[in-house]
Amino acid sequence: MKNKDIIFFNNQLLNWFKTNKRDLIFRKEKDPYRILVSEIMAQQTQIKTMLPYYNRFIKKFPTIYDLAQSNLEDVLNLWEGLGYYTRARNLWKTANIITENKNFPEKYDDLIKLPGIGPYTAGAIASIAFNQKIPALDGNALRVFSRLYGITEDISETETKRKINDLILKHLNLTDQPGNFNEAIMEIGALVCLKTNPYCKVCPVKKFCYAYLKDKISFFPVNKKRLKKVIESYDVLIMIYQNHPLFTKREKSGLLSGLYGFPMIQNNEHPGSTINTLKDKYNLKLLNYIGESKHVFTHKIWKSTLFSAETDSIPDDFTITPKSVPTAFKKMVLELNK
């Protein structure tokens, strides 16, 4: 695309964005803290799902200083159900670092050093909050620009991402609204240029789109490295004290670390064959088979075989009133209560 075409494209896209953008609460201000929270929450989560969490989070922690002064357990508790809890931990760590430095960093190179902030989030904050001409390269941007320019290389490859990043930078250098431009690309990817069955006929920039003009929409983007989910099987013990399931805090590292769940042993060979190890560990007498539970994470699937057992006392490190229980374990409780 020549510069004059890029300028025309930019204007068409920005005019569309001004008229068609969703009325999202975190767009009403250019507060870098609120942009940070919204972008972290939106990772791996749909906007309509994260909005209630965002509203509760901002009400509880209206400023980055409030978040920094909070207890991590309270943050995780508020995050409960949103998943991917590492995001919450990193957000809390970042709030503490920024508060200690007494300054919210404006430059991309400083932002990307903070816990949980990658190239996309750093670009989004730098451009939206501070009007810097920095690309925000997310899945939407990769898809839109691969179709727009007919990028035949694999978008999962670093070189391809760099190529698309440079193309976006060309567009940013020819607009005085870098933040709006990045948001417009995200928005058109979310509303029009969908992964499957995109709404090409209503696209405001379709006449610039290689994939549309060549009738090759289904060919783009090219992604050869779609990860297959790993299946992990577990035997899980739910101890019952006076009709209440007992929860224990998980290890400080690994999936769902530091949250509350049930004792479990990975068992990919013969489901149920290791449960006696847990029975003996807690000196239990009778086990009852409950059923099966399945939970899908981004890159793996948990398949759990569930057993329950009555206990006369609450063992050390267990509680009937956990602060934060991930959805994976809530599903197990539902099986218990059937």
Quick one: pLDDT at residue 227?
61
Quick one: pLDDT at residue 226?
66
Quick one: pLDDT at residue 62?
96
Residue type, 24: L
Q: Residue 142's closest CA among 188, 108, 178, 175?
A: 188
Quick one: pLDDT at residue 228?
75
Q: What is the 3-state secondary structure (H, E, C) of the chain?
A: CCHHHHHHHHHHHHHHHHHHCCCCHHHCCCCHHHHHHHHHHHCCCCHHHHHHHHHHHHHHCCCHHHHHCCCHHHHHHHHCCCCCCHHHHHHHHHHHHHHHHCCCCCCHHHHCCCCCCCHHHHHHHHHHCCCCCCCCCCHHHHHHHHHHHCCCCCCCCHHHHHHHHHHHHHHHCCCCCHHHHHHHHHHHHHHCCCCCCCCHHHCCCHHHCHHHHCCCHHHCCCCCCCCCCEEEEEEEEEEEECCEECEEECCCCCCCCCCEECCEEECCCCCCCCHHHHHHHCCCCCCEEEEEEEEECCCEEEEEEEEEEECCCCCCCEECCCCCCCHHHHHHHHHHCC
Quick one: pLDDT at residue 229?
82
Quick one: pLDDT at residue 131?
94
Q: Which two tokens stand for residue 142?
A: 């990769």
Name residue, tokens 């999202």.
24
Quick one: pLDDT at residue 12?
97
Quick one: pLDDT at residue 248?
95
pTM for the predicted model, two decimal places: 0.78
Q: What is the pLDDT of residues 61-111, one digit of tens each?
A: 999 999 999 999 999 989 988 888 899 999 999 999 999 999 999 999 999
Q: Residue 171's closest CA among 6, 2, 1?
A: 6
Quick one: pLDDT at residue 318?
95
Quick one: pLDDT at residue 6?
96
pLDDT in 10s for each residue of the chain, 338 residues? 899 999 999 999 999 999 999 988 888 878 999 999 999 999 888 888 999 999 999 999 999 999 999 999 999 989 988 888 899 999 999 999 999 999 999 999 999 999 999 999 999 999 999 999 999 999 999 999 999 999 999 999 999 999 999 999 999 999 999 999 999 999 999 999 999 999 999 999 999 999 999 999 999 999 887 667 889 999 999 999 999 999 999 987 788 988 999 999 998 888 888 898 999 999 998 889 999 999 998 788 999 999 999 999 999 999 999 988 999 999 999 998 88
Active site residues: 39
Q: What is the pLDDT of residues 146-158, one digit of tens each?
A: 999 999 999 999 9
Q: Which two tokens stand for residue 264?
A: 């479990």
